[in-house]
Amino acid sequence: MSVVYGCEPNSFTYDYLIHGLCAQGRTINTRELLSEMKGKGFVPNGKSYNSLVNAFALSGEIDDAVKCLWEMIENGRVVDFISYRTLVDESCRKGKYDEATRLLEMLREKQLVDIDSDDKLVNVLHKDL
C-alpha cells in the first residue's frame, strides 16, 4: 500500500485482509499478515480472531487454533459460539477427543461459556465420539 498509494495500513486494513484470507483458507498468508500486524503494534479485532480460530481449526491446525483462542481471550476479545463449536468439532474429527474434552473443561472453569452453550458443546463432543 505504501508503495502504490503512499499510505500505511491501519488495524482496520489488517482486520479486513485477515478475515478475507481466513475465509479462503489461506492460513500461511494469514500468519504472515498477522505477524506483520502484531509487529506494528496492532491487535486483531474479535471478527479477525474468530476467523483465525475457525480457519486454523478447519485446516487441521488445532494447536494453533487453541493458541489463538487463548490469545483472543487474553486480549479481551469476545469468542463467538461458532468458534467454540468449530474447534471442538474439528478436534474430534482429528481424533483429539481428550484435547476437546480438556478445552471444554477449561472453558467451564473460566466461565467463558453459558449453560446453554456448554450443553450444545457437550452434544457436539458426544456426537463425535
Mean pLDDT for 52-68 is: 97
Asked if residue 121 lies in contact with residue 104, where contact means CB atoms within 8 angstroms, the answer is yes
pLDDT value at 37 more than 90: yes
pLDDT per residue over 13-28, tens digit each? 999 999 999 999 999 9
Average pLDDT on 42-70 reads 97
Instruction: Calculate mean pLDDT across residues 46-65.
Output: 97
Share of the chain above pLDDT 90, in %: 89
What SS3 class is residue 26? Answer: coil
Q: In this predicted model, what pLDDT tens digit does every residue of 84-102 receive, in sequence order?
A: 999 999 999 999 999 999 9
pLDDT at 126: 87
Would you place residue 129 in the very low, low, confident or very high pLDDT band (cuts 50, 70, 90)? low
Say if residue 66's pLDDT is above 60: yes
- Using alpha carbons, select from 13, 19, 9, 21 the residue that is nearest to residue 46: 19
- Contacts of 85 by beta carbon, 8 Å cutoff, 6+ apart: 120, 121, 124
Domain locations in the chain? 2-128
CATH topology of domain 2-128: 1.25.40
**Structure confidence at residue 6 as a pLDDT band (50, 70, 90):** confident
